[in-house]
A and B are shown apart, each in its own frame.
Chain A
Amino acid sequence: MYPPSFDLTVARSVAEAVDALAEGGEDARILAGGQSLIPMLKLRFAAPSLLVDINEIAGLDLLERTNGHLRIGATARHADIVASDLPGGAVASAAPWISDPLVRNRGTVCGSVAHCDPEGDWNSVLLATGATVVATGPGGERSIDIGDFVVDFFTNSLAPGEMVTEVHVPVPAGASGGAYMKLERKVGDYATVGVATHLELGGDGTISAAGIAMTSVAPVNRKASDAEALLVGEAPGDELFAAAAEAAAAASEPRSDVRGSAEWKRNVVRVYTRRGLEAALAQAQAG
């Protein structure tokens, strides 16, 4: 299959990209890794008039730790996360499970975040870790909490003419850990169920912060806020994790499809939340 016709602008700076996006109007799209966009073009699910290629913008592939954050630039590939020692917790855990190795070589974290596919993994990780999305547009740069960024099914809160330039994932100073549990039918498949977990421990060993978010079991990547609330301030333990897992399962809204029944998926959320919390705890306690 072949994409429909479109114009292509290869931007050499963020400013150029933003200008091109503004000029292109509603039907203009950013082309980063293209691993979701190009298949959509080939299947003719999308027909943009203009693509703005940002791959040639120098420095946009940054991946660094500064000021208590992991900064991931707009053209940093999934494979860069896999290969780097900088990420930890749920980010490091999720990266090898994004699609397949070749897609990871080309696809970008920021592109996946902006795509807001509820079956995409990264937004669950960002919701669990409390990340921030940096957007740049005609009015300059602004930070958007991931909870505000993910609006709906394939819908983000970017303003017209804005593009995602970075994602910032907080790196806790104290003991912390995280995991991404993904049930997929095979490598390259979207998650049947994905659960991102994140725990921070206080000096006394109790949970000082907790994040849980889920993939493919709701119309958006969904944060399990009730489950998180159960955990904070408590001493970690089997019963507590079981209760949190139950709350996460209750917050999920899976649908029956060829991947499995809704009831089973909810059960997998329960099991994977518990296992994810156990993994996160083990990591946090290991320091």
Chain B
Amino acid sequence: MTATPDLSTPPEIGGIGHSVLRREDDRLIEGQGDFLDDVVLPGMLHMAIHRSPVAHARIRGIDSSAASAVDGVVAVVTGELMAAHNLAWMPTLSGDTQAVLATDKVRYQGQEVAAVIATDPYVAADAAALIEVDYEMLPAVTGPQQSLSADAPVIRDEKEGQTDNLVYTWESGDAEATDAAFESAARVVSLDTFYPRSHPAPLETCGIVADVNSVTGQATVYLTSQAPHAHRTLFALVAGLPEQNIRIISPDIGGGFGNKVPIYPGYVVATAASLLLGTPVKWIESRSDNLISTGFGRDYHMRGELALDGDGRILALRADVLSDQGAFYSDAQPTQFRAGLFHVVTGSYDFPAAHVTCRGAFTNKAPGGVAYRCSFRITEASYLIERLVQTAAYEIGMDPADFRLLNFIREDQFPYTTPTGFVYDSGDYHTALRKAMDEVGYAELRAEQAAARAEGRLLGIGIAHFTEAVGAGPSRTYDIAGLKMFDSAELRVHPTGKAILKLGVKTQGQGHETTFAQIVASELGIPVTDIKVVHGDTDNTPYGLGTYASRSTPTAGGATSMVSRKLADKGRKIAAHLLEAAEADIDLAAGTFSVRGTPERSVTIQEVAFAAYTNMPEGLEHGFEGVSYYDPPNLTFPYGSYIVVVEVDAETGVWKVDRMVALDDCGVRINPMIVEGQIHGGLTEGFAKSSMQWITFDEDGNCIGSNFMDYLVPTAWETPRFELLETCVPSPHHPIGAKGVGESATVGSPAAYVNAVIDALAHLGVRNIDMPVLPDRVWDALESAS
């Protein structure tokens, strides 16, 4: 890798490192954002979905006559009709199939059974409620342990050769070396814990406006899509439409967090309906549609074991997980990793052996396994290892901070190959944790904790030091449904020196219209205000895999740098021509090409751009534009040290966060203001999941958590205040040294909150309370301990 060029720019250019105010805000603060539900087309019809009220039942018959009779209803679509067009089932992102509209059985509460197309959304809802389905009830399977027992009903009986509910088994690491280490261990520490089912729940639900023109065959699909190009390809494959005739437009997105990565049945039905009716069809999920049926996250039952030597050093790790996949295996994750990147579970620690085993099971619950701001199961992995090391520290009587400092990978060990095969790019974990400890006043807090305990008060200090693995590709290892995970950028500088940058990724609030312009500003010296960023329209942007898994900066950010450098190279040639100097003598800094040694001989990037269209040297193509497809050589590995201080009300179990100190190292920060905003959001989601947010099911498979009265999103009142810190160890292989940050705080923080509550109770022997750490669970733990 060549050395990173000097990318510093003055504020008026506003390149990397400047907290440039966001370009996208101007429309959003005036209510002029263009969200999916704002799309209105002439003659547009509205779709409502009738869903199964039960978790598992055979469909004996569907009576849609009353629905069809409602004034304003244009069509009622059932699985039978979809089957006639070979669209009753669709492929998932993990190679399984998923029912679009149920034909044989319903397999979870909320599954799509029929759809009504009407002239008005109120009428569509009226009619959808009138559809009557005759069900033959079947026993519901609501947990993976139950699902894998011998007498469980086979949920996926339509799959040829499927005789049980096992989805997959997968393993990573070295079983033999791990067993040997455990045999030689002075001490073995274990933890069983459960990461409950959660949901991304962006405030804007998912939706589509499908507009298939029956004359031209052109399908314009407005979609809440985090990955428009990948979706276009999948639409082409599922619906059999020629790909050039499909245009996916992903307008402003009201939050994604992973929810808008998969393709949902409603999209397929609306598109089919538009195709059959020849009119645009809009479908917008209600909140209950969203929470009951679309991609959940987590639902992971985990056991971890650490082998320790007599000094408290980790020798090896064993992890075994059982994943509740719901009724269809639809994880959005790289093909070869059946459990995502869970095998990053060795975390921030240096030890030689690990073995990870994973099983997935079908249950009568909604499908998902989609990252909820978590990079392919890294959240679960990070949670397990950070809870486990905390447990180990208590068990051997060592301070949890000391235990981490003893076992951390050292700065001089990078690049570091983990026992499960990741190659961590860079880091300095000791400095990070020590800095966070200094900020929070760790030693003083421990003293305060002891004093509080003497008074009968419960104070807890929880640490989590996470290491993320983000930015997929490299394409040799990472793909989604076979599509390789590179990403792209296309840059055109116009004659006046103003530029347009087109991206294959898609912002959902991360500020791409600003940060990617900042990369170009740093590379070429074009002021950020002169650069328009275009994204989310497959007809007008280069192919890319989209925005999720904290991958936009590592991949498309790299592509933006690389395409800028292509233009810089061409610019040097043009500048050499204009300055009558040798190309090798031309330097570019902050938008000025100058002759080395005689800096007064210079031309600006704007002059060079003009010359590209008006005064080109012989032998050079006109124009000033390029495209780059960037395939990163490795993942990037952002990390952080989080410390949470809580006080627990011993009488009720209610706990409150007093402090939350979060140090993040995500390499070079393109826009510090935006990075901090991303961290704030992630810390809040971590707080939500650790304290209140989960989806559970009763024994009949009824979903509890299908609206915002049950699925709890914290308000400003409950949300803790955060104190942010940073260090910066750049990624050595990324063109600008950036690592990605969107998910770090969601990955790292849940363990910190939970560890803090456990820490408050640790002296009583409490080692685990599963999330969400509800007050009754805390109180129960206290009662059983005393």
Which residues of B531-562 are within 8 A (CB) of A?
none
A87-95, A206-214, A226-234, A256-264: which lies at the B interface?
A256-264
Note all chain A residues with C-beta closer than 8 A to B714.
186
A1 and B289 alpha carbons, distance in the complex (Å): 10
Asked whether A188 lies within 8 Å of B652 as measured between CB atoms, the reply is no
The yes or no answer to B578 lying at the interface (CB within 8 A) is no
Most buried by B among A185, A187, A260, A272: A185
Asked whether A187 lies within 8 Å of B779 as measured between CB atoms, the reply is no
Residue of A nearest to B126 (CB): A4
Which residues of B706-748 are within 8 A (CB) of A?
709-710, 712-715, 717-718
Asked whether A264 lies within 8 Å of B717 as measured between CB atoms, the reply is no
The yes or no answer to B653 lying at the interface (CB within 8 A) is yes
Most buried by A among B288, B651, B709: B651
Note all chain A residues with C-beta closer than 8 A to B717.
186-187
Which residues of A165-190 are within 8 A (CB) of B?
183, 185-190
Which residues of A146-202 are within 8 A (CB) of B?
183, 185-190
The yes or no answer to A12 lying at the interface (CB within 8 A) is no
Which residues of A223-276 are within 8 A (CB) of B?
258-261, 264-265, 267-268, 271-272
Asked whether B704 lies within 8 Å of A183 as measured between CB atoms, the reply is no
Asked whether B775 lies within 8 Å of A186 as measured between CB atoms, the reply is no
Note all chain B residues with C-beta closer than 8 A to A188.
715
The yes or no answer to B357 lying at the interface (CB within 8 A) is no
Asked whether A44 lies within 8 Å of B718 as measured between CB atoms, the reply is no
Asked whether A187 lies within 8 Å of B718 as measured between CB atoms, the reply is yes
- Whether A183 touches B286, Cβ cut-off 8 Å, given contacts A1-B125, A2-B125, A189-B712, is no
The yes or no answer to B170 lying at the interface (CB within 8 A) is no
A260 and B779 alpha carbons, distance in the complex (Å): 10
Q: Tell which of B122, B654, B718, B774 touches A2, judged by Cβ atoms closer than 8 Å.
A: B122
Asked whether B125 lies within 8 Å of A264 as measured between CB atoms, the reply is no
The yes or no answer to B352 lying at the interface (CB within 8 A) is no
- Distance in Å: Cβ of A2 to nearest Cβ of chain B: 4
Note all chain A residues with C-beta closer than 8 A to B511.
none
Residue of B nearest to A272 (CB): B652
Note all chain A residues with C-beta closer than 8 A to B705.
258
The yes or no answer to B121 lying at the interface (CB within 8 A) is yes
A287 and B696 alpha carbons, distance in the complex (Å): 48
A100 and B597 alpha carbons, distance in the complex (Å): 67
Most buried by A among B775, B776, B779, B780: B776
Number of interface residues of B (CB under 8 A): 28
Note all chain B residues with C-beta closer than 8 A to A271.
651-652
The yes or no answer to B166 lying at the interface (CB within 8 A) is no
Note all chain B residues with C-beta closer than 8 A to A265.
776
- Whether A2 touches B121, Cβ cut-off 8 Å, given contacts A100-B715, A258-B704, A264-B653, is yes
Note all chain B residues with C-beta closer than 8 A to A100.
715
Asked whether A183 lies within 8 Å of B712 as measured between CB atoms, the reply is no
Q: Tell which of B125, B652, B692, B718 touches A183, judged by Cβ atoms closer than 8 Å.
A: B652
Note all chain B residues with C-beta closer than 8 A to A186.
692, 712-715, 717-718
- Whether A185 touches B692, Cβ cut-off 8 Å, given contacts A1-B288, A271-B652, is yes
Note all chain B residues with C-beta closer than 8 A to A187.
715, 717-718
The yes or no answer to B62 lying at the interface (CB within 8 A) is no
Asked whether B692 lies within 8 Å of A264 as measured between CB atoms, the reply is no
Which residues of B264-318 are within 8 A (CB) of A?
286, 288
The yes or no answer to B129 lying at the interface (CB within 8 A) is yes
Interface string of B757-786 (1 = CB under 8 A from A): 000000000000000001110011000000
A1 and B653 alpha carbons, distance in the complex (Å): 37
A4 and B126 alpha carbons, distance in the complex (Å): 7
Q: Tell which of A2, A5, A44, A260 touches B775, judged by Cβ atoms closer than 8 Å.
A: A260
A186 and B708 alpha carbons, distance in the complex (Å): 11
Asked whether B122 lies within 8 Å of A264 as measured between CB atoms, the reply is no
A35 and B269 alpha carbons, distance in the complex (Å): 34
A147 and B122 alpha carbons, distance in the complex (Å): 41
**B interface: dominant SS:** loop
- Whether A264 touches B126, Cβ cut-off 8 Å, given contacts A186-B712, A187-B715, A271-B652, is no
A185 and B704 alpha carbons, distance in the complex (Å): 15
A30 and B192 alpha carbons, distance in the complex (Å): 53
Residue of B nearest to A193 (CB): B652
Which residues of B209-240 are within 8 A (CB) of A?
none
A272 and B653 alpha carbons, distance in the complex (Å): 13
Q: Tell which of A5, A189, A261 touches B709, judged by Cβ atoms closer than 8 Å.
A: A189
A266 and B129 alpha carbons, distance in the complex (Å): 40
Q: Tell which of A190, A258, A259, A264 touches B780, judged by Cβ atoms closer than 8 Å.
A: A264
A243 and B308 alpha carbons, distance in the complex (Å): 51
Note all chain B residues with C-beta closer than 8 A to A190.
709
Asked whether B710 lies within 8 Å of A258 as measured between CB atoms, the reply is yes
- Distance in Å: Cβ of B785 to nearest Cβ of chain A: 15
- Distance in Å: Cβ of A40 to nearest Cβ of chain B: 12
Residue of A nearest to B719 (CB): A186
Note all chain A residues with C-beta closer than 8 A to B286.
1
Q: Tell which of A1, A2, A260, A272 touches B776, judged by Cβ atoms closer than 8 Å.
A: A260
- Whether A267 touches B704, Cβ cut-off 8 Å, given contacts A2-B121, A185-B712, is no
A264 and B774 alpha carbons, distance in the complex (Å): 11
A189 and B715 alpha carbons, distance in the complex (Å): 11
Residue of B nearest to A185 (CB): B692
- Distance in Å: Cβ of B653 to nearest Cβ of chain A: 7
Note all chain B residues with C-beta closer than 8 A to A5.
126
Note all chain B residues with C-beta closer than 8 A to A264.
653, 775-776, 779-780
Note all chain B residues with C-beta closer than 8 A to A189.
709, 712
Asked whether B654 lies within 8 Å of A183 as measured between CB atoms, the reply is yes
A190 and B692 alpha carbons, distance in the complex (Å): 14
Note all chain A residues with C-beta closer than 8 A to B713.
186
Note all chain B residues with C-beta closer than 8 A to A183.
652, 654, 775
Note all chain B residues with C-beta closer than 8 A to A4.
126
A187 and B121 alpha carbons, distance in the complex (Å): 31
Which residues of B101-130 are within 8 A (CB) of A?
121-122, 125-126, 129
- Distance in Å: Cβ of B8 to nearest Cβ of chain A: 45
Residue of B nearest to A270 (CB): B651
A260 and B652 alpha carbons, distance in the complex (Å): 11
Note all chain B residues with C-beta closer than 8 A to A260.
774-776
- Whether A267 touches B692, Cβ cut-off 8 Å, given contacts A186-B717, A189-B709, is no
A4 and B130 alpha carbons, distance in the complex (Å): 12
A271 and B653 alpha carbons, distance in the complex (Å): 11
- Distance in Å: Cβ of A104 to nearest Cβ of chain B: 13
A260 and B129 alpha carbons, distance in the complex (Å): 33
Asked whether B718 lies within 8 Å of A267 as measured between CB atoms, the reply is no
- Distance in Å: Cβ of B689 to nearest Cβ of chain A: 13
A114 and B651 alpha carbons, distance in the complex (Å): 34
- Distance in Å: Cβ of A11 to nearest Cβ of chain B: 25
A1 and B718 alpha carbons, distance in the complex (Å): 28
- Distance in Å: Cβ of B198 to nearest Cβ of chain A: 14
A246 and B286 alpha carbons, distance in the complex (Å): 44
Most buried by B among A44, A188, A264, A265: A264
Which residues of B561-603 are within 8 A (CB) of A?
none
- Distance in Å: Cβ of B143 to nearest Cβ of chain A: 16
Note all chain B residues with C-beta closer than 8 A to A258.
696, 704-705, 710
A4 and B718 alpha carbons, distance in the complex (Å): 35
Residue of B nearest to A3 (CB): B122
A189 and B712 alpha carbons, distance in the complex (Å): 9
Q: Which residue numbers of B lie inside 8 Å of A, CB to CB?
A: 121-122, 125-126, 129, 286, 288, 651-654, 692, 696, 704-705, 709-710, 712-715, 717-718, 774-776, 779-780
What are 11 residue pairs bridging A and B, where the CB atoms are less than 8 Å apart in the complex?
A: A2-B125, A4-B126, A5-B126, A185-B692, A185-B712, A186-B713, A258-B696, A260-B774, A264-B653, A264-B776, A267-B651
A-B pairs, 4 with minimum CB distance: A260-B776, A264-B776, A2-B122, A187-B715
Q: With contacts A188-B715, A264-B653, A271-B651 known, what are 9 further pairs, Cβ within 8 A?
A: A2-B121, A4-B126, A44-B129, A183-B652, A185-B712, A264-B775, A264-B779, A267-B651, A267-B779
Q: Which residue numbers of A lie inside 8 Å of B, CB to CB?
A: 1-2, 4-5, 44, 100, 183, 185-190, 258-261, 264-265, 267-268, 271-272
